[in-house]
Amino acid sequence: MDDLASTLVEQQNFAEAQTLLTKAVAMRSSFSSDADWGEAAGHLAFAASQNHDPHMALQALAERATVLPNSPASLFLEATAHDTLHQYKDAERAYRAFLALAGGKYPDQEFQARHRLIALEHER
C-alpha cells in the first residue's frame, strides 16, 4: 500500500494517496518494523500536506515521532502545517528546528523557512 501510495504521490494524486496511507498506517501490525511504519506515517504526512489537510499532517507526524527521530523533512512539514493553522509559536519553533538540522541541504525550504520566520515576527 505504501508503494502504491508513493506512485500516487508521484502522479500528484494526493487525495487518493492520503486515503490509502491512512488505511496503511492504521494497520501498524502489518509492517515488518516500527521504522517502516514510521516511514509510512511520514509519507501520510506529506500526502496530507499536499492535499491541504494540515490537521492530518500533524497527526501523522506525531505518530511518526513515536518511532523515528525528527528529520529536516518532518520538521518542515510540521512547521508549514502549524503555519497554515495560524499556530505561529509552534510554526516558529518547528522552522527553527528545521533550520538547525537542514545544514544547507534543502536550500529552497531553508529560504522559505527564513522568510516565514521574518514574517512571523510581524504577526506578534
Domain ranges of the chain: 1-68, 69-124
Average pLDDT, the chain: 96
Average pLDDT over residues 75-88: 97
**Confidence check: pLDDT of 109 > 70:** yes
How does pLDDT run across 83-105, given as a tens digit for each residue? 999 999 999 999 999 999 999 99
Percent of the chain whose predicted confidence (pLDDT) is above 90: 94
Give the model's confidence band at 124: pLDDT under 50 very low, under 70 low, under 90 confident, else very high.
low
Distance (Å) of CA 30 to CA 23, 24, 47, 50: 11, 8, 21, 26
- CA 115 to each of CA 10, 16, 124: distance values in angstroms, whole numbers, following the listed order: 28, 32, 15
pLDDT for the residue 122 = 85
Give the mean model confidence (pLDDT) for residues 37-55.
97
CA dihedral 90, 111, 54, 51 (to 10 degrees): 180
Measured between alpha carbons, how far is residue 79 from residues 19, 28, 35, 52, 74 in Å? 22, 26, 22, 14, 9
Q: Where are the beta strands (DSSP E) in the chain?
A: none
Pick the CATH number of 1-68 from 1.25.40, 1.10.10, 1.10.8, 1.20.120: 1.25.40
